[in-house]
Amino acid sequence: MTHAPDDAPAARLTSYEHDGLTFDVRDEGPLDGEPVVLLHGFPDGPASWNHVVPLLTAAGLRVLVPAQRGYSPGARPQERSAYRLDTLARDVLALADAAGLDTFHVVGHDWGGGVAWQLGIAHGRRLRTLTVASTPHPRAMVAAMTHSTQALRSWYMAVFQIPRFAEWNLHLRGGELFARNLEKGGLPKAEAEAAARLLQEPGAATGALNWYRAIQVGGLKSAAAVAVPTLYVWSTDDVALGRYAAEHTADWVSGPYRYEVLPGVSHWIPTEAADRLAELILEQVASVA
């Protein structure tokens, strides 16, 4: 891979290409601002950052929000092997190259957090800072499966492995039942319905589910510690990710580390606590200025 030089001319992006796929991207804020890449999770897609982006751009940051594999219409391969973590991380590096960024700040939520951790583990030299909301370090997650109630919290991941049945469940009644389940987990009604609609698009449900189906347990168990300056944000009312993994994530960060807990906030931190999350991101960016 060739890296764009630091003095490469900046240009506004609406899409970029990698691995024969075309990814949509939202690019806002001053082109010469500190660059921050926001990575969405399952199933709300890039819209999950709608409340955060204006707060970051108002502070002078350049914000890039890609629609990742399975979510961009031009990037929905159907084979699960196309969704391994380092492949997903290389998609983000391709975005940075297209934007002329040798290094950048990355922020991830949910599965976007998984990709952010992978960037920190395998491609840390490209990162200025790493911020993750909700998702613990992979090694902390693996440990939590046998030392806490995390395995019970993660029951849905087993269901998502079932071909066709999982897609059928997401498509049932046009996604209405899936949207209701998202609401029960704390996602506001409008956002839940929008996420369910997104997965009704051709190929989107299988693409999104393949993030789970491509999990390589061996890779999670061997994930290295992260040396990049790291901020980890966890919320106490997260029904999917428990306290044990959150508290033990510190064990797997060797660089500067900050851990923030948001009391009474659900899993959907970028939507429910956008103001506080944006404040924390700005502090993290400023910490290395």
| The 3-state secondary structure of 232-270, one letter per residue | EEEEEECCCCCHHHHHHHHHHECCCEEEEEEEEEECCHH
CB atoms within 10 A of CB 164: 8
**Structure confidence at residue 89 (pLDDT):** 98
Q: How large is the greatest C-alpha to C-alpha distance in the chain, in angstroms?
A: 51
| 278 within domain boundaries | yes
Q: Which long-range contacts (CB under 8 A, 24 or more apart) does 53-59 make?
A: 53/26, 53/28, 55/274, 55/275, 55/278, 55/279, 55/282, 56/29, 56/278, 56/281, 56/282, 57/28, 57/29, 57/30, 57/33, 59/278, 59/282
Structure tokens at 75: 């990037």
- Give the number of other Cβ atoms within 10 Å of residue 261's Cβ: 13
Q: What is the mean pLDDT of the chain?
A: 95
Q: Is residue 202 part of a domain?
A: yes
Q: What is the pLDDT of residue 3?
A: 40
E-assigned strand segments in 19-61: 21-28, 35-39
pLDDT at 10: 63
In angstroms, the CA 263 to CA 52 distance is 19
* 79 within some domain: yes
- Please report whether residue 8 resides in a domain: no
- Residue labelled with tokens 């510190």: 250
Please tell me the total count of domains within the chain. Answer: 1
Q: Residue 80's domain is classified under what CATH number? A: 3.40.50.1820
Q: Which residues of 229-256 are buried (b: 16+ CB within 10 A; e: fewer)?
A: bbbbbbbeebebbbbbbbbbbeebbeee
Residue 260 in any domain: the answer is: yes
Q: Say if 7 falls within a structural domain.
A: no
**Residue 10 within any structural domain of the chain:** no
- Please report whether residue 9 resides in a domain: no
Residue with tokens 């009312």: 237
Mean pLDDT per 10-residue interval, the chain, length 289 residues: 45 95 98 98 97 98 98 98 97 98 98 98 98 98 96 95 95 96 95 97 98 93 96 97 98 98 98 98 95
Q: Contact, 223 vs 259, CB < 8 A?
A: no
Domain that holds residue 61: 15-286
